[in-house]
Structure 1
Amino acid sequence: MTQVHVQPLGQRRASLHGPTSWASLRHHVATWGRYALGVFCVALLCVDVATNNWEVIDFIGDAKHLLTPLLTIQRPDDMATQFIFPDDASPGRVSTVGQFMLNVSLAQIQARDSRTFILGMGFHRIDNHANDICGRLVQVYPIADPNATSVRLGSVVDSITFVGGNGLSHGFRDMAATANAAVGMNETQLRARGYTPARHGTDLRLTTPLSIPPPHQASTTTVSMYRFFVKALCSGCEPFTELGLDACRIEYSYNDAAHAVHVTASHAILGQYHELGGIFPRRQGPVVALYVRFVVVVLLLGVYGASQKTVQWTDMALQQSALRRVVGIVAPPLYRQPCSVLDLSDICFNSDVFVVLYTLTVLLDEEIAMLFSCEMHTWHHNTDDMFIEIRLLSMSLRWLWLHCFVLKAAKWTCHFVSMTRFTGDNRVVGWLNFSSSTWIYLGVFVLFQRNDIVELSNSDRVDLHSTTQNLDSTFVQFLDSWYIRTIPALAAAMLVNLAVFLCMDHVVNRSWWQSFALNSVGRQLMFNSTSILAGINGDWTVVVRPTDGARVFYITIKARALCTFRWFLSSHLTRFGLVEHPSALRHFSKGRQGEPSRNSGTTHRLVHQLTKRTPRQLVDPPTDCVRDEVSVAPEEDARQNDHCILVQDRAGSIHLLNDHMKELQALSVEVKILRDTTFCLR
């Protein structure tokens, strides 16, 4: 068997016109751009695993010192013995749900057991008044003991946040013209304007001891203010608590006649830091997600290691046990010969097993991840800490696998509901594919806006305080809550993002997609499986037959690479079991009769190479060649190799047929593996 070497047309043109030619420049920019995007996403994934692990953060315990003021307090009523509160901001003015939330938070602080995560969220620099929360201390604090020499201040505000509109409606209306709710309105007024309850919050502030000055003498000092902001996404639900610590500069005086401390001014010290933490319920989802993520990492290492070897070709007629098929996903029988038909991105984004498991991990962990990232984003929004920004981006990167899962699910659904009998007939399924992983990488930049979309959806909001009306009859429904109500906007952003990049890929690479669909391998990836990446490492050639002018798409691939590719297609993708159209089989069996022989001169063709020696392009697979340009190929070309076609039967089994429509058996393929020969797939 003579080995075929296809000379890329783009490389020949670059050599004629010099290294500065447009085709060569575009090729290098595309290659390095794709490489840079891959490195960027891998780096973010490593940051996510290392810094956003709830078990590790809880074990380190950086946020536990934020619990200090409440470590000896068992009930909300006990706070009045250690802190002084304003009359309208005391625990006695808190609603029933607010009392319940404080009780739950105090119980969690006292227990500090395996039922909660106490997580640190970093330090956030206070550069302006946007992150200044010290103003709440400006109150009048009555003192019960006139002989006290120092006091600790406290303030608690109970409220329900009402939100109007959502991310979709805000994008089509003028917020300044329509946001007509104001602080002080009651529930009836807010509901009449279209606002709904979205979150119940009880905001508790406690300070360190403050010396009482002589009567009527103004004093200035700095105190540490602890924040315990207990939030619930529905009335009666288990809440989570935002923890905080600030240094506040206050001006105050003591009125001996009224036995009260008057705080006249309070503000944060610019340049100082707000320390952020949180108490989150430890449910089964995040714990299971941790173990599933470990399994996914082991799976990825095993599959990638197997993909770099030559997988043994097995006859589909042989029956395998279920256990053997499961083991074969990670550890198939291998030859020692190396193979590089699959990239790491092919496994991460295209394997059904990996995508489903990692999506499951993301969804199980999303309960804490969403709260964690949104709370951190709220404080980071007005600062410029690069490390915090990277952590937020790494958590948003998780949705990239949700992206892939949605696309795979859409592709399977379109196949399931269609009446298609032959591969290639369902054109909608063909559009649900990317030509390379670069298009998937590009979609992550929209996912990075996840927290901004949540903030936009809840931007039109107003708080209804317990001092305005009794909150016991006002409740928050879970489906209207702070995060659930943002799901339509997030889903719309994800679907639009997918649709835009799919259309861009298919429009920019229109000629390549049309040619790739002519090949049996292309049809298996595009129309006959849940694959969302249509690329394959090999030499591809478009031959124009002089007899009838028909275009024939060849993929010349090493036998070793074909074995590994078949294993991935059989084990890691869901096959649809569509057979080839009879006309395609007839054209294949008669195709070589209409082609000129190797000694009949030359053939017009377009050539391109997709091998590891020439990396695949960033977004445009055929950018190395000029579209619709015809070149004269040398006599030695792809017709020297055995012509085969890759097909499926109704059961989804993969078969390799030669030009006599006979299936190649494992023994004949093994000979080609040992000789390192090639197949020419049509």
Structure 2
Amino acid sequence: MASTILSHWAGGQCSLAYKFVGGVKFMLGLACVFLLCVDMLCNNWEVIDYVGNAKHLLTPLLTIPTTSKLIHQFAFPRHASPAQVSQIGQFMINTTLAHVQTRDSHTYILGTTKHLVKNSDNDICGQLVSSYPVRNPAAAAVQLGSVADFITFVRGDALTHWFGDTQTSPRATTGMNETQLRALGYIPARHGTDLRLTAAVALPPSGQPTAATVAMYRFFMRTFCTGSEPGTELGLDTCAIEYLYNDTTQTLDVTSSQAIVGNYHELGFIFQRRGGPVLALHVRLATLVLLIGVYSASQKTVQWMDFSTQSIPQRVLRLIAPPLHREPCSVFGLSDICFNSDVFVVLYTLAVLADEEISMVYSRNMNQWHVRGGTDVWLDVRLMSMTARWLWVNCFLLKAFKWTCNFVSIAQHTGDSQLMGWLNFSSVSWMYLSVVSLLERNDFIEYGSSVRTDLSSTTQNLDATSVFLLQSWYIRSIPSLAAVIFANLVLLLVVDHVVNRKWWQFMAANSLGRQLVFNSTSILANIPLDPAAQVRGAESVTMHARALCTFRWFLASHLTRFGLPEPPAAIRALTAAHNVNPATRVFASQKPKFLADVGNLDSVVAAPPPHVPTSNLSMVLQDSDGNIHLVNAFKQDIATTAIETMIQQNTHVTMM
């Protein structure tokens, strides 16, 4: 009686744990889909451009088609005039003027976010402090302008900061020329032209100190390769200035200029609309439709079919619309599909990389203002959705490693390659852990470029100084970023395999587990066990026939199979289990390689679960073309009609 009660209690605890894990998994899946939707809708350049919230940031330039008219309409200091900037600086100003005038389908005008001005960290009004010539002393007001033209020189990256001396060596000082900077190890990484324009400022009586607040517009043009079209950061601030007018010299002297603490800085961007971001938008839309279709199909029982006889169009259709039974079957969660489907991972990785030319710049600049501007939960979510995209780059890299490992390997059977077994996660939870380092991507890139200085056009003529793409601000950070991503993946894989070593032993000793771990591009080795599934030793697993059918469809349609045969010892073990008494253990003459890490499990066959006759034991395997088969102890395919009967009766299948 006591044993019966204990058995029921243990079963209840197992069921509760299973439901809890399933609930957590479902919530993580919803969070993943939520971030996908936020990214697609709120970081959608087409939508943001269509809404047009950044158009008002163009106000000072709306009626100015040329640089000469810009100089005529605004008063510029003699040393900070568009006429004094470098050739590249003039090119960037002319390009921005053209973008503002045309505002056509060749550009995105993106905005706008608002960032609190808390202190001097995000105060950019100081550039207005200067002396401005006044051409018409009789005018009631004058509009001010200022241009800073410079090339940013950077030394080292994150790895050399950590393991080298690029952060501790003597740094550049203000006023150094290019030769001196290069001697210290600095290289050009970005060309910037920072144009500031104000609203009209009233001319006071001569010599009278005056205080006023004025709207200041910012057009910060950057290019990461000399001669390429710039991207422009737009901004709008309210500055508190103190100034006086000198009638003798006909100059207006701004003696102080500060942002008003408590006000907001408005941020926007102008980017060229290239093919990459447009492609990324359409691909992301396709992946969302794919996710909805695949998840809907995975919640029902897929018919057992022969995939080898289908044409390519039929196989494409079967990705999201396989023939279904009406019986429900919750085998996969949303996150399983997002992170483990080859089709989804490849397409979304393509979208991520195609969109990086805008999203990397957009997220970096928005993050810089956000960090200095205080808490904004919605901006946090938007930034998280942009950086979380790189989860799929992680998945793609891991799948690529598995495919490459199979391509170069001389393994003849599943389980022969021990390296292949390490290229898998036991659950999606480990995938989500990898996002922790990815969320710091912007700060990591910023840290890699933290040893920098600006070479101004007032210090040296910049026309002969070039910025090369492969040495530019973002490209130069890719090797160190890739190294961190790789190290993060390796660390998580090692910890997962150490912590869950019993699970990996079970996966290596079961044919269904081996198909995932060793014989396909699956990177998630989570067999959908039922709460009441019985496992003996670490070699047999029982699951619903309905679950197996849907699982087989996903394996055959959404993963690349390698077509490796099962080890002969495993086939012999299945046959032996059918021929011996259930209480008898059969020992192999040699331990197969797929059991190399299974400790002291010298026997390759355990007695099947007590409720399953040995005649019902089966094995999942692949033929040389990667087609998946379920065979019995006689090495025969189990008939489709038999499987359909098991589906209707909702029975179990036990696999070794």
2:223 to 232, 236, 246: 232
SS, match of residue 145 in structure 1? coil
Select which of 609, 618, 630 maps to 1:644: 618
Give the partner amino acid of 1:588. Answer: L
Counterpart check, 1:161 vs 2:152: yes
One-letter amino acid matched to 2:68: D
Aligned to 2:557: 571
1:554 aligns with 2:555: no
Q: How far apart, CA to CA, are the structure 1 residues paired with 2:288 and 2:359?
A: 19
Kindly tell me: are residues 9 and 308 of structure 1, through their superposed partners in 2, closer, same or farther at Cα, counting changes over 3 Å?
Answer: farther
The corresponding residue for 1:293 is 284
Please report how far the alpha carbon of residue 371 of structure 1 lies from its aligned counterpart in structure 2 after TM superposition: 1.0
Q: Among 512, 522, 529, which residue is 2:520 paired with? A: 529
Conservation of the 8 A alpha-carbon contact between 1:541 and 1:553 = no
**For the residues of structure 1 that align with 2:7 and 2:408, how far apart are their CA atoms?**
42
User: In 1, distance between residues paired with 2:436 and 2:10?
Assistant: 35
Which residue of 2 is the match for residue 177 of structure 1? 168
Percentage identity across paired residues of the two chains = 54
Corresponding position of 2:338 = 348
Are the aligned partners of 1:554 and 1:680 in contact in 2 as well (CA < 8 Å)? Answer: yes
Name the aligned partner's letter for residue 557 of structure 1. Answer: M
Which of 118, 128, 145 is equivalent to 2:119?
A: 128
Q: 1:593, CA displacement in angstroms? A: 3.6
Q: How does 1:138-153 map to 2 (within 5 A)?
A: 138-153=129-144
Change (3 A) 1:395 1:525: same
Deviations 1:278-309 (A, max 9, x none): 00000011111111112111111111111111
> Which of 225, 248, 253 is the matching residue for 1:257?
248
Which SS does the other structure have where 1:208 is aligned? strand
Q: 2:365 aligns with which of 375, 381, 396?
A: 375
Could you tell me how far apart the structure 2 residues matched to 1:635 and 1:367 are? 56
Q: How much has 1:516 moved relative to structure 2?
A: 1.7
| TM-score, structure 1 as length reference | 0.89
Is 1:75 the counterpart of 2:49? The answer is no
Distance 1:14 1:217 in 2: 88
My pick for the range that moved more, 585-594 or 232-241, is: 585-594
Tell me, in whole angstroms, the C-alpha distance in 2 between the residues paired with 1:647 and 1:634.
Answer: 19
Shift of the alpha carbon at 1:173?
4.9
- Equivalent residue letter for 1:590: A
- Provide the C-alpha distance between the structure 2 equivalents of 1:575 and 1:341, rounded to a whole number of angstroms: 20
State the Cα deviation string for residues 69-114 of structure 1 (Å, max 9, x = none): 0111111121121110111101111101111111111100000000
Match 1:222 to one of 192, 213, 219: 213
Q: Residue 94 of structure 2 aligns to a residue in which SS?
A: helix
* 1:324 corresponding residue in structure 2: 314
d(CA) in 2 for partners of 1:500 and 1:285? 33
Distance 1:266 1:321, change over 3 A: same
1:663 aligned partner, one-letter code: D
Larger RCO, structures 1/2 (Cα 8 Å, 6+ apart): 1
Which segment is superposed worse, 585-594 or 52-61?
585-594
Distance 1:38 1:311, change over 3 A: closer
Secondary structure, counterpart of 1:538 in structure 2? coil
1:656 matches 2:647: no
- Contact persistence 1:179–1:460 (CA under 8 A): no
| TM-score where L is the length of structure 2 | 0.92
When residues 528 and 255 of structure 1 are mapped into structure 2, their CA distance, relative to the original with a 3 A threshold, is same
Counterparts of 1:384-423 in structure 2 under 5 Å? Answer: 384-423=375-414
Unpaired stretches in structure 2, ≥5 consecutive residues:
586-606
Aligned residue in 2 for 1:548: none
Shift of the 455–537 alpha-carbon distance from structure 1 to 2, 3 Å rule, reads same
State the partner residue of 2:644. 670
Q: How far apart are 1:26 and its partner, in Å?
A: 8.2
Q: Decide which of 441, 446, 450 is 1:459's aligned counterpart.
A: 450
Residues 324, 42 of structure 1: alpha-carbon distance in 2 compared, 3 angstrom cutoff: closer
Q: Which amino acid is the alignment partner of residue 514 of structure 1?
A: Q
Q: Deviation of residue 204 (structure 1)?
A: 0.3
What SS does the corresponding residue of 1:152 show, helix, strand or coil? strand
**CA distance 1:8–1:666, shift in 2 (3 Å):** farther
Secondary structure at the residue paired with 2:314?
helix
* 1:584 maps to 2:575: no
Give the conservation status (yes or no) of the 8 Å contact 1:528–1:576.
Answer: yes
For residues 194 and 639 of structure 1, the distance between their equivalents in structure 2, rounded to whole angstroms, comes to: 74
**3-state SS of the aligned residue for 1:107?**
helix
How far residue 10 of structure 1 moved from its aligned partner, in angstroms, is 9.8
For the residue of structure 1 that corresponds to 2:191, the secondary structure is strand
* SS of the residue 2:539 aligns to: strand
The answer to whether the 8 Å contact 2:578/2:615 transfers is no
- Encode CA deviations 1:482-505: one digit per residue, 9 max, x unaligned: 110110121112111111111111
Contact 2:33 2:334 in 1 (8 A): no
Task: Show the counterpart of 2:588.
Answer: none
Distance 2:399 2:147 in 1: 49
Give the match for residue 612 of structure 1: none
State yes or no: 1:482 paired with 2:487: no
How far apart are the structure 2 equivalents of 1:341 and 1:75?
63
In the alignment of these two chains, the number of paired residues is: 631
Shift of 1:149: 2.0
Partner residue, 2:84: 93
- Cα displacement string for residues 516-540 of structure 1 (whole angstroms, at most 9, x for unaligned residues): 2100000000000000011121245
Deviation readout 1:252-273 (Å, 9 max, x if unpaired) = 0011111100110000000100
Q: Assess, with a 3 A threshold, how the Cα gap between structure 1 residues 563 and 8 changes in structure 2: closer, same or farther.
A: farther
Whether the 8 Å CA contact 2:155–2:166 is kept in 1: the answer is no
Give 1:315 deviation, angstroms.
3.2
Question: C-alpha separation between the residues in 2 aligned to 1:408 and 1:14?
Answer: 37
Counterpart residue type for residue 440 of structure 2: Q
Structure 2 contact 341–559 (Cα < 8 Å) conserved: yes
1:212 to 178, 203, 206: 203
CA–CA separation in structure 1 for the residues paired with 2:156 and 2:609: 68
Displacement of 1:403 after TM fit? 1.0
Secondary structure of the corresponding residue to residue 319 of structure 2: helix
Contact 1:558/1:679, CA 8 A, preserved across alignment: yes
Contact 1:641–1:679 at 8 Å: present in 2 too?
no
- Secondary structure of 2:654's counterpart equals strand
Q: Would the alpha carbon gap of residues 179 and 72 (structure 1) be closer, same or farther in structure 2, given more than 3 Å must change? A: farther
Who is 2:497 aligned against? 506
Q: 1:249 to 1:641 in 2, by over 3 A?
A: farther
Q: What's the secondary structure of 2:96's corresponding residue?
A: helix
Which one-letter code corresponds to 1:339 in the other structure?
A: C
One-letter amino acid of the counterpart of residue 282, structure 1: R
SS of structure 2 residue aligned to 1:178: coil
CA contact (8 A) 2:40 2:285 kept: no
* Alpha-carbon distance in 2 for matches of 1:9, 1:498: 42
The CA deviation at 1:310 is: 1.4
CA contact (8 A) 2:156 2:166 kept: no
- Contact 1:57–1:119 (CA under 8 A) maintained in structure 2: yes
Match in the other structure for 2:427? 436
Whole-Å Cα distance in 1 between the matches of residues 494 and 379 of structure 2? Answer: 34
The AA in structure 2 aligned to 1:309 is K
Partner of 1:364: 354
Question: Once superposed, what is the RMSD of the aligned Cα atoms?
Answer: 2.4
In the alignment, is residue 336 of structure 1 matched against residue 316 of structure 2?
A: no
Q: What's the offset of the Cα at 1:674? A: 1.8
Q: Distance in 1 between matches of 2:91 and 2:425?
A: 51
Question: Does the residue aligned with 1:280 lie in a helix, a strand or coil?
Answer: strand
Give 1:47 shift: 1.9
Q: 1:327 to 1:24 in 2, by over 3 A?
A: closer
Give 3-state SS (helix, strand or coil) of 1:87's partner. coil
Report the 3-state secondary structure (helix = DSSP H, G, I; strand = E; otherwise coil) of the residue aligned with 1:123.
strand
